[in-house]
């Protein structure tokens, strides 16, 4: 089984990528290949030009920039998983990554590839939305910035125009001592999640929630934040009542339905997983503040 014929390009700089992408018709970028290669093997995707990003070193980085964490689009999931900067700044990323495929796919799969493929249940898209990631988009005409919320335009559809590509993303790390938890359910470990819920929170000196973020993926066609539930949590102690209220909000978002998983079941999972994630994040924050 092999892809339909294409012309292969191996640029070594982002400028070269922008130039090729702007010039070549029916071209596609190849990042880690863990989604695009199967699609090409099946010939669901047939391209005239394949532009391989694997030689573009400047797109692979993990940088701490003051309070922000910057990740290059071609950073391997494995490199995130083993990064001391990530472990220190945002340990939820490690918990989420442990559920992204398997070692063999994380060795190859990239951060940006996952954001652009934008599978509705992708852990890294959830993580980017949860952190209000700011994305850097390049093209022959220059660069622009957008938020993860804007970028996730629709079902597996990133907001990328003709000739545009994702260069990287950055987000503000939450303060030391924040609580976090990533909960997902999949039929077998390493499979695509059916639903996942990511939670970040901070507590004030009285032990009440000061700030909370909740991102759900796999429920609707794109990952979503529970903005109302997040603001409702402010000032509450992270106990049963608070978890229950957020869980109910999670169960009320519109859910997709397919041959395997009904909408009702997705909403059920959203409720249970959000409760658990919030409960664990709260317990963590309490422990860290003691």
Binding residues (CB under 8 A) for another protein: these are 1-8, 10, 33-34, 37-38, 41-42, 50, 52, 54, 78, 101-105, 107-108, 188-190
Name which of 80 and 242 has its Cβ closer to another protein: 80
Q: Minimum distance from CB of 41 to another protein (Å)?
A: 5
Q: Minimum distance from CB of 82 to another protein (Å)?
A: 10
Q: Minimum distance from CB of 1 to another protein (Å)?
A: 4
DSSP 214: E
Name which of 39 and 263 has its Cβ closer to another protein: 39
Name which of 38 and 239 has its Cβ closer to another protein: 38
C-alpha 159/C-alpha 151 separation (Å) is 5
Q: What is residue 116's three-state secondary structure? A: helix
Name which of 64 and 102 has its Cβ closer to another protein: 102
Q: Minimum distance from CB of 282 to another protein (Å)?
A: 27
Q: Minimum distance from CB of 37 to another protein (Å)?
A: 4
Q: Minimum distance from CB of 113 to another protein (Å)?
A: 12
C-alpha 125/C-alpha 153 separation (Å) is 12
Name which of 51 and 199 has its Cβ closer to another protein: 51
> What is each CA distance from 213 to 103, 182, 247, 274, in whole angstroms?
28, 12, 13, 11
C-alpha 45/C-alpha 96 separation (Å) is 28
Name which of 35 and 202 has its Cβ closer to another protein: 35
* Residue environment code for 273-283, b if the CB has 16+ CB neighbours within 10 A, otherwise e: bbbbbbbbbbe
Rounded (5°) CA angle 85-76-215 = 70
> In terms of C-beta distances under 8 Å and separation of at least 24 residues, what long-range contacts does 268-272 make, across chains too?
269/185, 269/194, 269/195, 269/218, 269/219, 270/195, 270/197, 270/216, 270/219, 271/247, 272/247
Beta strands 7-9 and 27-30: pairing type? Answer: unpaired
């Amino acid at each position: 089984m092999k892809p339909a014929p294409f012309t292969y390009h191996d640029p070594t700089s982002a400028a070269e990528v922008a130039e090729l992408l702007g010039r070549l018709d029916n071209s596609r970028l190849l990042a880690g290949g863990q989604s695009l290669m199967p699609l090409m093997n099946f010939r669901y995707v047939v391209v005239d030009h394949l532009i391989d990003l694997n030689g573009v070193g400047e797109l692979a980085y993990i940088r701490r920039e003051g309070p922000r964490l910057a990740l290059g689009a071609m950073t391997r999931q494995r490199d995130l998983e083993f990064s001391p900067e990530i472990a220190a700044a945002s340990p939820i990323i490690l918990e989420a990554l442990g559920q992204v495929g398997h070692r063999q796919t994380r060795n190859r799969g990239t951060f940006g590839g996952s954001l652009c493929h934008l599978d509705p249940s992708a852990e890294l898209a959830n993580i980017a939305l949860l952190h209000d990631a700011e994305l850097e988009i390049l093209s022959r005409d220059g660069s622009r910035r957008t938020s993860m919320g804007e970028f996730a335009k629709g079902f597996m559809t990133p907001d990328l125009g003709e000739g545009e590509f994702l260069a990287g993303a950055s987000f503000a790390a939450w303060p030391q001592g924040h609580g976090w938890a990533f909960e997902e359910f999949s039929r077998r470990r390493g499979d695509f999640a059916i639903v996942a819920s990511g939670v970040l929170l901070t507590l004030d000196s009285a032990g009440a929630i000061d700030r909370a973020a909740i991102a759900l993926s796999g429920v609707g066609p794109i990952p979503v934040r529970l903005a109302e539930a997040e603001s409702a949590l402010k000032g509450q102690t992270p106990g049963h009542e608070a978890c229950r209220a957020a869980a109910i909000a999670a169960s009320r978002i519109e859910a997709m339905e397919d041959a395997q998983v009904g909408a009702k079941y997705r909403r059920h999972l959203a409720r249970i997983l959000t409760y658990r994630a919030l409960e664990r994040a709260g317990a963590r924050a309490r422990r860290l503040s003691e």
